[in-house]
Copies of this chain bind each other. A is one copy, B any other.
Amino acid sequence: MSDPSAHEESHLKVLRLLDSNPLMSQRDLSDALAISLGKTNYCIKALLDKGFIKMQNFRNNKNKLAYVYLLTPLGIEQKSRMTVEFLQIKVQEYEHLRLEIAGLKQEAEQNSLREQQ
């Protein structure tokens, strides 16, 4: 995929997940996104590098050292921007898929007619 929006989409998904739950580990994220741990780490680093998220140590009520990934103000702003951007892209994909399904349906019907003869 040399499509730049492919990376961007992972970034948006991570931002959305972390915004709803900053406690997610990189392994949680890779499960949720169905991508490898390495790729998730690569993505997190990019978001840190861009200043969209920050990594923060904290101790929870069981005195366990852990991390939270918090969206920065810039990250929140970018998340909004990317949300609108992908909304448009997704609507286009939706229409494309609708047409593709229509084509497949038509063909499937033709095939079953052919079998009946």
Beta-carbon contact of A87 and B111 below 8 Å: no
Question: Whole-angstrom distance from the CB of A69 to the nearest CB of chain B?
Answer: 18
- Main secondary structure on chain A at its contact with chain B? helix
Q: Could you jot down 26 A-B contacts, CB within 8 Å?
A: A16-B107, A80-B107, A80-B108, A80-B111, A83-B104, A83-B107, A83-B108, A83-B111, A84-B108, A84-B111, A86-B104, A87-B101, A87-B104, A87-B105, A87-B108, A90-B97, A90-B100, A90-B101, A90-B104, A91-B101, A93-B97, A94-B94, A94-B97, A94-B98, A94-B101, A97-B97
Q: Which residues of A contact B (CB under 8 A)?
A: 16, 80, 83-84, 86-87, 90-91, 93-94, 97-98, 100-101, 104-105, 107-108, 111
